Structure 1
Amino acid sequence: MASKPGILTDWPWKSLGSLKYLVLAPWVIHSTYSFVTKDESERNLSNLLIFPFLLWRMLHNQIWISLSRYWTAKGNNSIVDKGLEFEQVDRESNWDDQILLNGTIFYAATVSKLLPGTLYLPAWKTDGVIMAILMHAGPVEFLYYWFHRALHHHYLYSRYHSHHHSSIVTEPITSVIHPFAEHLVYFILFAIPMLTTSFTGTASMTSFFGYVTYIDFMNNLGHCNYELIPKRLFSIFPPLKYFMYTPSFHSLHHTQFRTNYSLFMPLYDYIYGTMDKSTDELYETSLKREAESPDVVHLTHLTTPESIYHLRLGFASLASKPHTSKWYMWLIWPLTLFFMMLTWLYGRTFVVERHRLDKLRLQTWAIPKYSIQYFLQWKIESINGLIEEAILEAEAGGAKVLSLGLLNQAKELNRYGELYVERHPKLSVKVVDGSSMAVAVVLNRIPKGTTEVVIRGRVTKVAYALAFTLCQRVIEVVILREDEYVKLKKSFNSKSETKLSFSRSYAQKTWLVGDGLDEEEQLKAQKGTLFIPFSQFPPKKLRKDCSYHSTPAMVTPRHLENLHSCENWLPRRVMSAWRVAGIVHALEGWDEHECGYTMSNIEKVWQATLRHGFQPLMFPTQSKY
């Protein structure tokens, strides 16, 4: 929102929320019905194609969003090296409003037959395409330049344009984040080539749809925060610098504000003396910038088929919220299936996001495999191969620590990461499974004064450590299943096992739960029971009369930069304990692996974590079921 919002700031359909797409429904139904019912000679193909074209525009923008986030995650050729925040992601989440506006106007114009020559548009007219190019290069670019300069006058800037400039670090969709009134003026400007070709009888579907696609492409290009225009392009044709801007050119407008006003052609900045003096220098610097070498790598993987949309590289609005299943995801199941096949075939780990904590450079890498594949015996070798390659790549890049997230550390897969240390005994990068951190988080979530707890779930390294530590603290540990009790009892000495018992009373009010907790057991728990997960994945929340903690996690320090997406199902600015463990390991400079059946000192890890600004996520989350 602008600092002093002016009239027509809000979009007309703002109150509709996610139902705003219904604005287009009457137009889409009418155009489809007319095309089906009318004779072939009277069918208006261009009107029918408006809706598919709007879908193409949304896909086009999403491609730019994903590519830009992938490029900036690697760090090479990035222009502005500052972090994004959740506030910017929220502010820019309505980037599709301008597409709805354009679609509504296009439909209204064709149905009302206001524009001559647009009732039955041909696919191509050469003279119309040339005219559209000339009208853009002349009137549109010229008028935009002066309108843009006017928007930087303090009166209009404070009421309108400051909303756009709230984003110093731009993303492709930043290009269309403006108040409603501003977009109306832009539409009038960009309509000049279309109106001209309409009134001269030279309009075509190519001149209309192609021109709008060109605007989208150049807008996304200028705001992607990644310099991708090769220098040789300007060497081959030097005058091109007057007719085509670069991402670094427009980035300077967002950091300097009073320079580089041009739309897509810097010509008018050269003519009127508003070209930023550092334009060429920033362009050269950005092209030479190399990919960032991380100090800490967190290795994760995809979970459910739709989880790819919740990655930072996916849908920005979904990535900025905890992962929950959405009913409308089934509408794009063909695309989901395509991505599943793509990741199935793609055999290389990819960079998901990049952060900075003090001087520590952090990256998250993802294995292109889904959770279900980790339970397939015939996929174990290939997954281990990918993890091993990632470890060696991190080693070659100078990383200090690599932490294993989710199922990348499963006992059945690699014995909590021990397999890789055995294969490469001289590894300088420290492999961390984060078990001690997970145990510390769970122990500090148990309410004070608790005298007995239930431990239920698959017996893992974390479960062993929890049971042992609680018994040492003279807290009764109740096991509900005999096989789990036997496994734990065998690992204990005679003193600690006295606090370990097998019972099916379900009377305890504090449950530590892992994978394998079934619905029947959960329903037998007492009213008011507190469920505290110790596993990587959360249990299904069935009870409205009980409380549920998140999986082991910590709130990050406020000075952790570039954190604008949620880690799986965790709240904003919260990281899993396994991910935090790797960061703390590097901050403390600990020179040993934490994998296999070895664990770090739990209290030492906990105190170090608090000392570095991480805070407990203390309040349990209530079930939404």
Structure 2
Amino acid sequence: MATLSAWPWENFGAFKYLLYGPLIARVLYSRIQEDIKDDWCLHILIICALRGFVYQLWTSYSNMLFLTRNRRILQLGVDFKQIDKEWDWDNFIILQALMASMACYMFPILTSLPLWNTRGFVAIMILHMGVSEPLYYWVHRYFHGDYLFAHYHSLHHSSAVPQPFTAGNATFLEHLVLNAVIGIPVLGCCLIGYGSISMIYGYVLIFDFLRCLGHCNVEIVPHQMFETFPFLRYLLYTPTYHSLHHTEMGTNYCLFMPLYDALGHTLNSKSWELHKKIRLNSGKNARVPDFVFLAHVVDLTSSMHVPFVFRSFGSKPFSTKIFLLPLLPVAFVVMLVMWAMSKTFLITFYNLRGHLHQTWAVPRFGFQYFLPFARGGINKHIEEAILRADRLGIKVISLAALNKNEALNGGGTLFVNKHPNLKVRVVHGNTLTAAVILNEISEDVKEVFLTGATSKLGRAIALYLCRRRVRVLMLTLSNERFQRIKKEAPTDCQKYLVQVRKYRAAQNCKAWIVGKWITPREQSWAPPGAHFHQFVVPPILPFRKDCTYGDLAAMRLPDDVEGLGSCEYTMERGVVHACHAGGVVHSLEGWTHHEVGAIDVDRIDLVWKAALKHGLKPVSTVTKHNQLQKIS
């Protein structure tokens, strides 16, 4: 690597934050020793925290697609590759904290500044416009030279979609230069006697605010302002202006003021025309997706597992983290606002072979689906989302787990019957879910034990397996439901469906298919070496050490998916629940039928083969093993 391209603490991981330790120790020491009135370390720490908060707020706003999708400049999603590349975006804040502490030791005047000095604000604006802006402009142009760009600046430009965190994603050398750009006005004002604490806070935070503005990829600056006051276009850049620097390099080098691009003849001629065009189109709908997955929130902690809260957290499989606990009151307030607004919102989108896929979310939490008095309101929101998709011209809308609950709306049947002229296809995706579970079961299995046997998925699994001459022990207390399912089986296969009423009936069966949550005590009836296949949410607890537990039905999306940067609940990157994948296949195949209500057993193999044809892959290691056995 080139000299000064890597960060000194690049391999520290989360331990890099220990570099704040001396500052924290100094603050604690000054508080213990009452005779020491030294607050400069505290101010540095507060400024660092505020800077991180500014970047986080801007990033959250940029990823609130339900607010920004019609004003986005680059219509691309932020993928996992970019998120990982920008993971340590805040290195520069640590660097500038260390440099600020060194400056305080070298220039003691910095440790005894007044709270306010009006002249300082005037002076720092003059120094910024006369020193920082031209200095940044010329250095930036040099960094676009062949050698410096290849070894230093290319990292910053490697991010496909500008984001506020992209502003901090640069090499060590670049941020040393930026440290001079931001430090010269501050230090200059202080040395000439115009410095103040409020001036430093204001200048640094406004500097970060404008950096985030340029990288946010959302055009928020009204074009009417430039039409009314044309000279302003040379004093303040816009997100569109800066995005052109990333898409058409060689233009728009300025820090915040396009004036220097005009003077240096590097101003992109399309800057303000494109800015006006994006602003005028902001009231129109963006490109209509081919497919929408209608999700729902599970609980308060999982509600924070979305890109517009913590992008890095959302890019990993969900797990409860300690740092989320203080944010629970905020999440609770947001939940109340969601209920009050009662709007579905867009939380992520990605492209698959040119087909735009989106995820919408219903403003309802998991526990509400089990409240009888809440069903009407939930169905109303789902219906509104379906009708909205129909108006927009979306081809397929797929319902997530609880949104298609049989007791809630009959697996989507309610909406299809109520609106027979729907152009959008409503899909529950359970056909592929059944296919995933069934392909986990080896062909040499002759007997299985099935809980949740009379559910939508349980029925389909039982009917499919009995056709394969597999004996199915169906756990159900309802003789009527069992007999109804048994009559659906071919006459010569009905003998393979056996009703059982207790778990002890499966004490010799090593293949358990769990469709209803079972307790550790109920699991104890399984013999040693048993395998628990499951389609129950939440998954059962892995209580038995002498048994194995399967994954929830899921599939990995094809490798050519673009713009996917968030994990679906507890799933790994690029993996979605089978019902979600079922909607994707429905869209890619161009099927024109609704997939609602009972599962068509005859279509299970058809849907499975279609999923594999389009590059979706099974996630379960059991399924992969079975597939290899079939091939061999």
TM over 0.5: yes
Aligned to 2:196: 204
Query: Deviation at 1:234?
Result: 0.5
Query: Deviation at 1:495?
Result: 4.5
> Secondary structure in 1 aligned to 2:58?
helix
Candidates 596, 607, 630, aligned match of 1:605: 607
Distance in 2 of aligned mates of 1:349 and 1:81 = 21
1:141-174, CA deviations, whole angstroms, 9 ceiling, x for partnerless residues?
1111111111112222222111111113211211
Query: Deviation at 1:72?
Result: 8.4
Q: Which amino acid aligns with 1:586?
A: S
Aligned to 1:499: 496
TM-aligned CA distance change 1:392 to 1:158, over 3 Å:
same
Contact 2:472/2:496, CA 8 A, preserved across alignment: yes
Aligned to 2:477: 483
Query: Deviation at 1:538?
Result: 3.0
Distance in 2 of aligned mates of 1:122 and 1:413 = 64
User: Does 1:69 pair with 2:63?
Assistant: yes
> Secondary structure in 1 aligned to 2:216?
coil
Query: Deviation at 1:37?
Result: 4.8
TM-aligned CA distance change 1:318 to 1:584, over 3 Å:
same
Query: Deviation at 1:484?
Result: 6.9
Aligned to 2:85: 91
Candidates 225, 238, 241, aligned match of 1:249: 241
Query: Deviation at 1:7?
Result: 2.2
TM-aligned CA distance change 1:43 to 1:381, over 3 Å:
farther
Distance in 2 of aligned mates of 1:485 and 1:153 = 79
Aligned to 1:567: 568
User: Does 1:406 pair with 2:407?
Assistant: no
Structure 1 gaps, min length 5: none
Distance in 2 of aligned mates of 1:549 and 1:95 = 38
Distance in 2 of aligned mates of 1:43 and 1:547 = 63
Q: Which amino acid aligns with 2:17?
A: Y
Distance in 2 of aligned mates of 1:587 and 1:235 = 45
Contact 1:129/1:206, CA 8 A, preserved across alignment: no
Aligned to 1:80: 74
TM-aligned CA distance change 1:588 to 1:335, over 3 Å:
same
Contact 1:73/1:352, CA 8 A, preserved across alignment: no
1:9-33, CA deviations, whole angstroms, 9 ceiling, x for partnerless residues?
3333333312322222342243145
> Secondary structure in 1 aligned to 2:562?
coil
> Secondary structure in 2 aligned to 1:284?
helix
Contact 2:453/2:459, CA 8 A, preserved across alignment: no
Query: Deviation at 1:427?
Result: 2.1
> Secondary structure in 2 aligned to 1:14?
coil
1:106-185 matches, cutoff 5 A: 106-110=100-104, 112=105, 114-185=106-177
Aligned to 2:262: 270
1:357-396 matches, cutoff 5 A: 357-396=352-391
TM-aligned CA distance change 1:22 to 1:171, over 3 Å:
same
Contact 1:434/1:579, CA 8 A, preserved across alignment: yes
1:42-85, CA deviations, whole angstroms, 9 ceiling, x for partnerless residues?
64555434333322222221221121122488632222234433
1:512-566, CA deviations, whole angstroms, 9 ceiling, x for partnerless residues?
2234122223355444433322235433344555444332222212222211211
1:222-371 matches, cutoff 5 A: 222-289=214-281, 290=284, 291-371=286-366
Candidates 189, 194, 213, aligned match of 2:186: 194
Query: Deviation at 1:410?
Result: 1.1
1:426-483, CA deviations, whole angstroms, 9 ceiling, x for partnerless residues?
222221111111111111122232222222347421111111111111112234x452
Q: Which segment drifts farther, 441-450 or 71-80? A: 71-80
Query: Deviation at 1:232?
Result: 0.5
Distance in 2 of aligned mates of 1:459 and 1:122 = 75
Distance in 2 of aligned mates of 1:553 and 1:44 = 57
TM-aligned CA distance change 1:397 to 1:511, over 3 Å:
same
Aligned to 2:205: 213
Contact 1:123/1:204, CA 8 A, preserved across alignment: yes
Candidates 2, 11, 29, aligned match of 2:7: 11
Q: Which segment drifts farther, 428-437 or 114-123? A: 114-123
Q: Which amino acid aligns with 1:552?
A: A
1:498-517 matches, cutoff 5 A: 498-501=495-498, 502=500, 504=504, 505-517=506-518
> Secondary structure in 2 aligned to 1:492?
helix
Contact 1:533/1:549, CA 8 A, preserved across alignment: yes
> Secondary structure in 2 aligned to 1:297?
strand
Distance in 2 of aligned mates of 1:517 and 1:83 = 40
Contact 1:548/1:620, CA 8 A, preserved across alignment: no
> Secondary structure in 2 aligned to 1:329?
helix
1:284-334, CA deviations, whole angstroms, 9 ceiling, x for partnerless residues?
333344423222211001113122332122211111111122233224444
TM-score, length basis structure 2: 0.90
Distance in 1 of aligned mates of 2:197 and 2:600 = 66
Aligned to 2:96: 102
Contact 1:72/1:225, CA 8 A, preserved across alignment: no
Query: Deviation at 1:261?
Result: 1.2
Distance in 1 of aligned mates of 2:407 and 2:50 = 44
Contact 1:550/1:620, CA 8 A, preserved across alignment: no
Contact 1:399/1:429, CA 8 A, preserved across alignment: yes
Distance in 2 of aligned mates of 1:13 and 1:464 = 57
TM-aligned CA distance change 1:488 to 1:182, over 3 Å:
farther
> Secondary structure in 2 aligned to 1:239?
helix
Contact 1:296/1:399, CA 8 A, preserved across alignment: yes
Distance in 1 of aligned mates of 2:188 and 2:68 = 44
Alignment root-mean-square deviation, CA: 2.5
Distance in 2 of aligned mates of 1:544 and 1:193 = 65
Distance in 2 of aligned mates of 1:282 and 1:374 = 46
Q: Which amino acid aligns with 1:549?
A: G
Query: Deviation at 1:352?
Result: 0.8
1:197-239, CA deviations, whole angstroms, 9 ceiling, x for partnerless residues?
2112222222111111112111111111222211101012111
TM-aligned CA distance change 1:240 to 1:77, over 3 Å:
same
TM-aligned CA distance change 1:548 to 1:55, over 3 Å:
farther
TM-aligned CA distance change 1:44 to 1:413, over 3 Å:
farther
Contact 2:396/2:424, CA 8 A, preserved across alignment: yes
Q: Which amino acid aligns with 1:79?
A: I
Aligned to 2:531: 530
Query: Deviation at 1:255?
Result: 1.7
Aligned to 1:592: 593
Q: Which amino acid aligns with 1:554?
A: M
Aligned to 1:617: 619
TM-aligned CA distance change 1:570 to 1:208, over 3 Å:
same
Query: Deviation at 1:134?
Result: 1.4
Query: Deviation at 1:108?
Result: 4.8
Distance in 2 of aligned mates of 1:449 and 1:285 = 63
Contact 2:39/2:111, CA 8 A, preserved across alignment: no
Distance in 2 of aligned mates of 1:522 and 1:13 = 49
Q: Which segment drifts farther, 599-608 or 87-96? A: 599-608
TM-aligned CA distance change 1:529 to 1:270, over 3 Å:
farther
Candidates 396, 414, 417, aligned match of 2:412: 417
Distance in 2 of aligned mates of 1:175 and 1:485 = 65
TM-aligned CA distance change 1:617 to 1:129, over 3 Å:
same
Structure 2 gaps, min length 5: 624-632
1:352-407, CA deviations, whole angstroms, 9 ceiling, x for partnerless residues?
11222234322110112221222223322222221111111111111122110121
Contact 1:75/1:292, CA 8 A, preserved across alignment: no
